Amino acid sequence: MKKSILKKQLDGLNNQNNSRFHMPGHKGHGGDFNIFTYDITEIPGADNLHDAHGVIAEVQEKLAAIYGSDEAAILVNGTTTGIHSAILGACCPGEILIIPTNCHRAVFGALALERIEGVFITPEFDKAMGFAKAVTMDSVKEAIIRYPDSVGMVLTNPTYYGTTSDVKAIGEFLHHRGKFLIVDEAHGAHLHFNDDLPLDAIKAGADISIQSTHKILGSLTQSSLIHFQGSRINRQRVKSFLALLQSSSPSYPLMISVEEAVDTAYEKGQAVFKLIIDAHRDFCEKQTLDAPIRLYADDNPGTGYDRSKWLFHTPGIAGDRVEEMLSKTHGIQCEMSGNNHVLAMTGMGTTAADINALILGIADLNKKITQDGFSAKGSVQNSDQTENILFEDTIKTEMSLWQGLYSDEKESLPLAEAGGRLAGDFIIPYPPGIPVLLPGSRINQNVIDGLNHLMDNGVAVVGIHKNRELLLLKETGAKNEA
């Protein structure tokens, strides 16, 4: 029997890299968990995820108790399904929802599915690094003043890069005005387990939070949790959408992995993340301001920074070059890289040896860059070549999002010819999965240049197809449909 193509490829990657600084959080340390032994269906005694009254209900009650939520539900179709269900259950068609522009694609997908009107607000932007950081109270207040009939807000916290917003203050402000707060906490399932990490969403007062337990904790990819708190959102409606959108054949191995991941974090999370946080702080304190590769930490007063994320600013060398060298020279595979940054993501499976290897690897690269000077071709990397392409104002549409997505009046053209046209699909650099264009967004030359720059540097862009073609709306047809 031939070896699986996928297994062969992944075995090669595992042999190449000894330290995993990418998702999922178990880092390949799964113990003796035999997936096939536990892969069963809803036989007597096994319970049903979509109508849990037995052992699954018992587990979900335990998970809610650990996190301090009123109710928790295991997700087997990822946090995306949890986000879709939360928004569809909390809103009705035509209602207004406040959406920061750094939300994941799942949020915008939910707007289109239920024909919700999204009111977009722009978070603070780190222009040196090239990403959105935090949503300010002022921007939330301004949105509420402009749209008093909005029913609530979705907030991403923490971000993919570890930055945070003041969830507690935002939640209190919204609740005082009779509005709900849904938190996409995909990157925050671990926050509850160490007091030096930022406040988790349920403690901060969110009505619903959705967590990817696989990203930083140790469950299997595609497994997540959704937490409910209070009565502002109709819980049963959300659960009805969960049953509608998730598989009718939920995976018991995925559910088991969620329970075991949370149990392990409950028992060991304080110690594991103390090691990671202490090492992160120590690195920040000892690094020099002129180092070509520097560790980033954006400690907002009152909210903090998620130090499980080791985000390196690399003004002295292209980020993808750093990621490549860490892998080839030091056996370290990072989560992602950009123009001038590299993200090394820790998790419950991260060991002291992994952290030490990362620190030594960065030190080695800093020494080589400082003493020898090199780039991908062997010469000194010019810092102005790593100028960021910013997408601060592109998440705007000239029609309802659902109209742009559902329209049949579309054509495929090269990106180079898309200037002045309306996008016909989501355009999403991945990771982290935040759209830069929505169906109905006007495309300008800066966006074209930025997308080309990303793809030239090996970044995958969902929605850009072979020969760099993308779907564009035929505006006459689209306008008639509107």
**Domains annotated on the chain, with CATH:** 5-19+270-382 (3.90.1150.10), 35-263 (3.40.640.10), 401-481 (3.90.100.10)
**What secondary structure letter does DSSP report for 423?**
B
Categorize the per-residue pLDDT at 97 as very low, low, confident or very high, splitting at 50, 70 and 90: very high
Output 480 or 366, whichever has higher pLDDT: 366
**How does pLDDT run across 155-177, given as a tens digit for each residue?**
999 999 999 999 999 999 999 99
Contact by Cβ (8 Å): 370, 317: no
Residue 250: cis peptide before it, omega within 30 degrees of 0: no
In whole angstroms, give the CA distance from residue 320 to residue 386.
Answer: 11
pLDDT attached to residue 33? 65
Share of the chain above pLDDT 70, in %: 90
In three-state secondary structure terms, 184 is strand
Would you say residue 232 has pLDDT above 80? Answer: yes
The pLDDT tens digits for 315-357 are: 878 898 999 999 999 999 999 998 889 999 999 999 999 999 9
Instruction: Inform me whether the pLDDT recorded for 15 exceeds 80.
Output: no
CA angle (25, 28, 31) in 5-degree steps:
105
Q: What does the pLDDT look like over 263-318, one tens digit per residue?
A: 999 999 999 999 999 999 999 999 998 899 999 988 666 789 999 999 999 987 88
Residue for token pair 């990397």: 381
Burial of 386 (0-12, 13-18, 19+ CB in 10 A): buried
- Give the separation between CA 294 and CA 275, rounded to whole angstroms: 20
What pLDDT sits at residue 431?
Answer: 79
Give the model's confidence band at 28: pLDDT under 50 very low, under 70 low, under 90 confident, else very high.
confident
Model confidence at 6, pLDDT cuts 50, 70, 90, reads low
**Mean pLDDT value of segment 367-384:** 56
Q: Say whether pLDDT at 390 is over 90.
A: no
pLDDT digits (tens, 9 = 90+) for 30-67: 666 678 888 888 888 888 999 999 999 999 999 999 99
| Mean of pLDDT values over 67-80 | 97
Q: State the pTM of this model.
A: 0.90
CA distance 136 to 121: 10
**Is the per-residue pLDDT at 17 higher than 70?**
no
